Structure 1
Amino acid sequence: MRPAYPLSSKRKIPDHIQRPDYATDGIPKSEKKAYASPPEMHGPEVIEKLRTVCRMSREILDLAAAALRPGTTTDEIDEIVRNATIERNAYPSTLNYRNYPKSLCTSVNEVVCHGIPDQTCLKEGDIINLDISVYYQGYHMEPIQLARSTTNRRNLFVPRECLDKAIALCRPGALIRDLGKTMSVRTYTGHGINTSFHSPPDIPHYAKNRAMGTMKPGTIFTIELSGFLFQASLQMIHLGPNGRQVHWPDNWTATRTNGRWSAQFEETIMCFDGPAVLVLISWS
């Protein structure tokens, strides 16, 4: 993969839409405070609000996925996501987060994650990951993610199965470090998400990690599965040997140097009396 420039102009968000603290200058100031404190706990009174954001996110994901076909550009997907988000009076969480220029991440083939929508034209058989996040009424839900391909469907079952096994371990009192037993990638982690886009706890994706603490009722966090196809790991599932990972000069797009393809799935979890999966990503 290579970037297909020029990028379109940054799409504007109407003034009436509630914005996160980084929307203007790109600096997520709330995250600095969040990482200086224990993980936020949320009671049952926020459940319905979170479910509303999750349903909204799923609707936006479905609209974006419906537009995936040979000949579509990833920038066109960005416009669909931006429009669908503001129609719901919400803000696309990725937009201007640490100066990220678009309303979602579109990671194609060997792009592991954080691909920036551009003029890349999708071809028959491509694998694309749609990473969609929504900010609404003071809460982020992230990432709503779909890995999709017209000709590589069987390969996508592996990362989805790994993610489901990790979710099955989630319950109040479970050790955070135990999630790494179902995965084997060190590059990225899951994380807390709530009123801040990223917050404690960090969720390592490899065995024998040193993460401290247990899952507590009211904690909201993501589990992220993406990586080498056929080599099961929670964060990333890639096709063939690992190879080396590099970032493009845009400071976001992460790819494999060997050109092997990647697929990614991710869920948002809230621990309550038992594991409460707020978002379940289905795919076909």
Structure 2
Amino acid sequence: MKRNKINWRVPKGMEITDLDRKVLYYQDRGHLVPTRELIKTPEQIEGIRRSGIINTGVLDLVEKEIHAGMSTLEIDKLVYDYTISHGGIPATLGYEGFPKSCCTSINEVVCHGIPNEFDILEEGDIINVDCTTILDGYYADASRMFIIGKTTPKKEKLVQVARECLEIGMEAAKPFGFIGDIGHAIEKHAKKNGFSVVRDLCGHGVGVEFHEEPDVEHFGKKGTGMLLVPGMVFTIEPMINAGTWEVFIDEEDGWTVVTEDELPSAQWEHTFLMTENGLEILTH
């Protein structure tokens, strides 16, 4: 059997724990496993959880205030003011040159839409607002879909199925299962409803950095990808398209991801902690 790289190492002189034995069992059989550094300490988990409380509060505020006639720049100001007033930092602001405090992605925009004064929400729009908060050095990341007024049945179904995909992906994630189990379940549900799953973007580890290992793809095969070990923290954030899964990046701003056929897209996201009993949501 072809062996994957050795990630899990027990420091010399350190006692081998039951967790070490379990992970080494899978590693010795050629499976990809995390490094020990990806297993968060109780202190780190508590820090991420506190950051998640602020991140949830931000999205609750957006949900309360969002309406037709509002610009995405106004949404960004809500996010910035709330985050700063609660002692946090908007992680996207200045991240690799991103100019705003959140991402606002309307209709055919899949993700990474840049808030501005010219994008005014209209009746029937669907919009994803994606926020990441840093508090005391710990990161929490989540996004929600919002329907502005009454939209078409197709868009409404897309938003609902995208949320179901997140929930189904969460249910598929089991301790000592695999990343591929998540993607398999999500893709199956999306296809059953006539939709596609974006393949060029994925979820990710998070917590002490904005983006960590592993990549959490939203398509795939059961039993493949990295082993899911209690103590890992990561996002699941399926991007579900009404048409093709293919996308392109706007050349003018270098950030905005749009569906290739310009049909609508929807996404929901949470930050999760893997426990001995399954996933715990850190961004309610």
- TM-score normalised by structure 2 residue count: 0.77
Say whether the 8 Å CA contact 2:103–2:113 is kept in structure 1. yes
**Greater CA radius of gyration, 1 or 2?**
2
Instruction: Give 2:5's aligned residue.
Output: none
Deviations 1:138-180 (A, max 9, x none): 11101x2110103244432111111111101222201122212
What is the aligned partner in structure 2 of residue 247 from structure 1? 249
Structure 2: distance between partners of 1:88 and 1:243 = 38
What is residue 131 of structure 1 aligned with on the other side?
A: 130
Work out which of the residue numbers 116, 119, 123 in structure 2 matches 1:118: 116
SS of the aligned residue for 2:215 comes to strand
* C-alpha spacing 1:244/1:201, structure 2 compared with 1 (3 Å): closer
Match of 1:213 in 2: 226
Q: Bigger CA drift: 144-153 or 258-267? A: 144-153
2:184, 2:220 within 8 Å by CA — same for their partners in 1?
Answer: yes
Change (3 A) 1:86 1:110: same
SS of match in other structure, 1:227: strand
Note the aligned Cα RMSD (angstroms): 2.0
Q: Cα 1:222–1:243, aligned 2, differ >3 Å: closer, same or farther?
A: closer
Tell me by how many angstroms 1:227 deviates.
1.9
Q: Contact conserved, 2:244 with 2:260, CA < 8 A, in 1?
A: no
Secondary structure of the residue aligned to 2:145 is strand
TM-score, normalising length: structure 1? 0.77
| Amino acid across the alignment from 1:106 | T
**Per-residue CA distance 1:76-109 (angstroms, 9 max, x = gap):** 1111110001001110011111110000000001
* Residue 75 (structure 1) shift: 0.4
Q: CA deviation at 1:210?
A: 9.2
Partner of 1:265: 268
> Could you tell me whether the CA contact under 8 Å between 1:113 and 1:255 is conserved in 2?
yes
Native 8 Å contact 2:162 2:239 kept in 1: yes
Matched ranges for 1:71-110 at <5 A:
71-110=69-108
Deviation at 1:65, TM superposition (A): 2.1
Which whole-Å CA distance do the structure 2 matches of 1:278 and 1:210 have between them? Answer: 23
* Alignment partner, residue 198 of structure 2: 185
Task: Answer whether contact 1:269 1:275 (CA < 8 A) is retained.
Answer: no
- The separation in 1 between residues aligned to 2:201 and 2:264, in whole angstroms, is 17
| Identity of matched residues, % | 34
**1:163 maps to 2:176:** no
Give the CA deviation at 1:257: 3.5
Answer yes or no: is 1:194 the counterpart of 2:207: yes
Distance 1:278 1:50, change over 3 A: farther
Q: For the residues of structure 1 that align with 2:112 and 2:222, how far apart are their CA atoms?
A: 24
More divergent stretch after superposition (103-112 vs 179-188): 179-188
Q: CA deviation at 1:243?
A: 6.7
- CA–CA separation in structure 1 for the residues paired with 2:198 and 2:239: 9
Q: Distance in 2 between matches of 1:257 and 1:226?
A: 14
Unaligned residue ranges in structure 2 (runs of 5+): 1-33, 188-196
Note the C-alpha offset of 1:37: 6.2
Q: Secondary structure at the match of 2:130?
A: strand
> Partner of 2:268: helix, strand, or coil?
strand
1:78 & 1:63 partners in 2: Cα distance? 11
Unaligned regions of 5+ residues in structure 1, if any?
1-35, 229-238
Higher helix fraction (1 or 2): 2
The question of whether the paired residues in 2 share the 8 Å contact of 1:92 and 1:103 is answered with yes
